[in-house]
Structure 1
Amino acid sequence: MSAHPVEHGDEPVIERPKRTLSTLRAALARLAPSMLPLMESERDEVFTLAAETQSVGPVNGFLLRWAVAVEIERHPATARKLHRAEHLARTASDEETLRAAAREVAEIKAAARRAVGT
């Protein structure tokens, strides 16, 4: 298995799914079901855009985005760390905290992108 964004003791709760709509959706349903409505809404928009532009680019981007989300959610401690940083980035009252939180979000997502093999 390839490297993934984990903290010590942050073992994945499921195997990394293939980058297909059905496997990513099933993984998300198990790991973070509250994210399913967003995934499904984005799916509808992406497939419409792909048809309009006659390009698979939007679909590939969609699958990558959700593979990254699933990669993070497979590791509970990493997911908690991301959600805390996202919350701080939304609610920070000072620029230093905002920048640190945004940097942490970006680092976690970049590590997950590397793990899923962008």
Structure 2
Amino acid sequence: MPPVSEAALRAAVMRLDPASGVEFDREFHAAWEQALQQDSTVPMHTFLRRWAVFVSLHRFPGRSARVRELERLVGAASSLEEARAAANEVGRLLAAAESEIAGR
């Protein structure tokens, strides 16, 4: 897991999913503007945390594929129970990603 910094996360995102690099840059600039307007570091911390979770989830191909499959299952679920089961597993993967980031 790379350090939770703009440069390290940008490099990781570009390596893991270059198409997401555009979104990373757009969100970075929006967070920067918001931080300046609010005179607060909270928007930048939120931005960094969001992308650290993305990197944590997608840095292992199997986990990345599972996240994408679960997202598809939630969208295609034919019952509330199916959607909840897939969403619960997404929640567990997100919790594991948060733990990984916190343990750095």
TM-score (normalizing by structure 1): 0.81
Task: Give the partner amino acid of 2:32.
Answer: F
Query: 5 Å matches for 1:13-28?
Result: 16-28=1-13
Greater share of helix: 2
**Runs of at least 5 residues in structure 1 that lack an aligned partner in the other structure:** 1-15
Runs of 4+ in structure 1 displaced over 2 angstroms? none
For residues 53-80 of structure 1, the C-alpha deviation after alignment (integer angstroms, 9 at most, x for no partner) is: 1110110111011011111111111111
| Identical-pair percentage | 34
Residue matched to 1:77: 62
d(CA) in 2 for partners of 1:112, 1:27 = 15
**Runs of at least 5 residues in structure 2 that lack an aligned partner in the other structure:** none
- Using the TM superposition, give the Cα deviation of residue 93 of structure 1 relative to its aligned residue in structure 2, in angstroms: 2.4
- Using the TM superposition, give the Cα deviation of residue 98 of structure 1 relative to its aligned residue in structure 2, in angstroms: 0.8
The number of equivalent residue pairs is: 103
Task: Give the partner amino acid of 1:31.
Answer: L
d(CA) in 1 for partners of 2:90, 2:81 = 14
Residue matched to 2:83: 98
Residue matched to 2:32: 47
Task: Give the partner amino acid of 1:36.
Answer: G
Task: Give the partner amino acid of 1:93.
Answer: S
Q: Name the SS for the 2:19 alignment partner.
A: helix
- Using the TM superposition, give the Cα deviation of residue 94 of structure 1 relative to its aligned residue in structure 2, in angstroms: 1.3
- Using the TM superposition, give the Cα deviation of residue 45 of structure 1 relative to its aligned residue in structure 2, in angstroms: 1.5
- Using the TM superposition, give the Cα deviation of residue 92 of structure 1 relative to its aligned residue in structure 2, in angstroms: 1.6
Q: Name the SS for the 1:33 alignment partner.
A: coil
TM-score (normalizing by structure 2): 0.91
Give the alignment's Cα RMSD to 1 decimal: 1.3
- Identify which of structures 1 and 2 has the higher relative contact order when contacts are C-alpha pairs closer than 8 Å and 6+ apart: 1
